[in-house]
């Protein structure tokens, strides 16, 4: 069996194809699925998660430190249980607070972590105690109107 | 008159079921006789030249233009909502998830599939296949299996090249021509495209399409009536059937892979 020009072309084709796959893997996509080997999971309960979805980023100080692994509904406490998978490189104090925020006006929702001051760090399967729910626009408007109405009443009641 | 019509219908149905059964047996025979295609890998490389390398031009050019059109149209729509920074995400996700595998599959069917059918149909019409059998060479192992594996290997590479060139086309139009910010284009894309969920699923799709298109093309050629008319009819059927099968399979695979994702 001899080498032919054909082999050269097919070889080039295969190299180009594998190169395209590498380009897609490295430049277009990111290996964002954090492996379970170098990550740990913490749980946080929320009254309302708004539009949070699995795979949404978990950010601290704007840097992505993990992803939302799972969202369940606790039928005893009637709360949402969100499992966060965090990168092992980042450790957070035990009294870290988690809040659900929105990037931009119409952007996706993510979980923001604010580090606390505790000297004990969060471990695998720990629970984040301080959480802040997603802001629901209807509730916000409702509160605003209620506040306005109260203000009006207070002014009426004042002696002239 | 009516009796004739019913008889025709029944005959066609039976013939159709017959063909499906034969095609399934043919597919299993290819898999069982694949040993030669790997032991004498030169045969498969030869076929990869015809199915893969010669399809490169059409795949690369179409990928580039599809990406450029996506860039233009995507920008047009996204800028209405002030989110032209999501252009990279739009271009990359639509290419990697759907357009790359599907369009590469359709082009592959019309460029390589039709050629395979015509070649094998003509081999059958000129009794080359029977001649091989006379010489105790199994035509499935010698002719069909190398073409099958060449198609299955080429298809994901072609789809990846299509997607990569498409992303590059979107970059050319979006960043170079229109002036979307270079950094946000790539970073938004990288933030949204996941390796396992998007790219790997796209590759799986293209492998499935490769198996489907090559099997259909080989079967139509092998089953073609040994006449000039028969071969031309088989070639047409290859392109029509494999295009429909690619689109139908794409729907099924998308429903399985991406349901439950946002």
Contact B53, B115 (CB under 8 A): no
Contact A48, A134 (CB under 8 A): yes
- What residues in B contact A20, CB-CB < 8 Å? 157, 160-161, 163-165
Phi, psi of B210 (to 5 degrees): -60, -45
> What is the Cα–Cα distance from A104 to B155, expressed in whole angstroms?
40
Identify which of B149, B134, B159, B124 has the alpha carbon closest to the alpha carbon of residue B42: B149
Q: Which of B48, B52, B163 sits opposite A24 (nearest CB)?
A: B163
Q: Which of A1, A20, A57 sits opposite B42 (nearest CB)?
A: A1
Contact map slice: A 98-157 vs B, CB within 8 A: 106
Q: Which residue of B has its CA nearest to A51?
A: B262
B194/A33 Cβ within 8 A: yes
Q: Which of B45, B164, B261 sits opposite A10 (nearest CB)?
A: B45
Complex confidence, ipTM:
0.80
Neighbours of B181 (CB within 10 A): 15
pLDDT in tens, B51-81: 999 999 999 999 999 999 999 999 999 888 8
pLDDT in tens, B136-192: 989 998 899 999 999 999 999 999 999 999 999 999 999 999 988 887 888 888 878
B193/A17 Cβ within 8 A: no
All residues at 6 or more sequence positions from B208 whose CB lies less than 8 Å from its CB, including other chains: B249, B253
A16/B194 Cβ within 8 A: no
Q: Which of B53, B160, B262 sits opposite A53 (nearest CB)?
A: B262
Asked if the model's pLDDT at residue A149 lies above 90, the reply is no
Q: Report yes or no: A51 at the B interface, CB cutoff 8 Å.
A: no
pLDDT in tens, B77-136: 988 887 888 898 899 999 999 999 999 999 999 999 999 999 999 999 999 999 999 999
């Amino acid at each position: 069996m001899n080498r032919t020009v054909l082999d050269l072309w097919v070889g080039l084709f295969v190299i180009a194809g594998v190169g395209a796959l590498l380009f897609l893997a490295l430049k277009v996509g990111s290996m964002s699925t954090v492996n379970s080997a170098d990550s740990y999971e913490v749980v946080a309960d929320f009254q309302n998660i708004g539009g949070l979805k699995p795979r949404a980023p978990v950010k601290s100080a704007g840097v992505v430190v993990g992803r939302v692994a799972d969202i369940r509904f606790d039928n005893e406490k009637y709360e949402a249980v969100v499992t966060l998978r965090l990168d092992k490189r980042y450790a957070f104090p035990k009294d870290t607070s988690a809040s659900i925020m929105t990037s931009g006006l119409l952007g996706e929702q993510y979980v923001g972590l604010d580090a606390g001051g505790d000297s004990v760090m969060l471990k695998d399967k720990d629970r984040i105690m301080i959480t802040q729910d997603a802001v629901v626009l209807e509730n916000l408007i409702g509160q605003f109107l209620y506040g306005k109405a109260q203000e009006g009443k207070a002014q009426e009641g004042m002696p002239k | 008159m009516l009796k004739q019509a019913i008889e025709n219908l029944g005959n066609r149905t039976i013939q159709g079921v017959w063909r499906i059964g034969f095609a399934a047996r043919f597919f299993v025979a290819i898999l069982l006789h694949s040993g030669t295609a790997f032991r004498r890998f030169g045969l498969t490389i030869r076929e990869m030249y015809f199915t893969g390398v010669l399809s490169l031009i059409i795949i690369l050019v179409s990928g580039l233009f599809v990406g450029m059109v996506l860039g233009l149209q995507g920008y047009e729509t996204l800028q209405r909502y002030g989110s032209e920074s999501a252009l990279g995400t739009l271009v990359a996700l639509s290419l990697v998830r759907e357009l790359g595998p599907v369009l590469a599959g359709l082009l592959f069917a019309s460029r390589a599939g039709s050629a395979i059918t015509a070649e094998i149909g003509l081999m059958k019409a000129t009794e080359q296949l029977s001649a091989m059998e006379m010489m105790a060479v199994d035509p499935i192992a010698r002719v069909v299996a190398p073409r099958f594996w060449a198609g299955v290997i080429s298809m994901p590479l072609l789809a990846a090249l299509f997607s990569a060139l498409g992303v590059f086309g979107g970059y050319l139009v979006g960043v170079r021509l229109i002036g979307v910010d270079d950094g946000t284009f790539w970073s938004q894309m990288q933030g949204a495209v996941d390796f396992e969920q998007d790219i790997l699923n796209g590759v799986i799709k293209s492998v499935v399409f490769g198996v489907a298109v090559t099997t259909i093309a080989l079967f139509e050629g092998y089953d073609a009536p040994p006449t000039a008319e028969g071969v031309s009819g088989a070639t047409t059927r290859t392109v029509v059937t494999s295009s429909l099968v690619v689109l139908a399979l794409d729907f099924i695979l998308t429903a399985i892979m991406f349901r439950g994702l946002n």
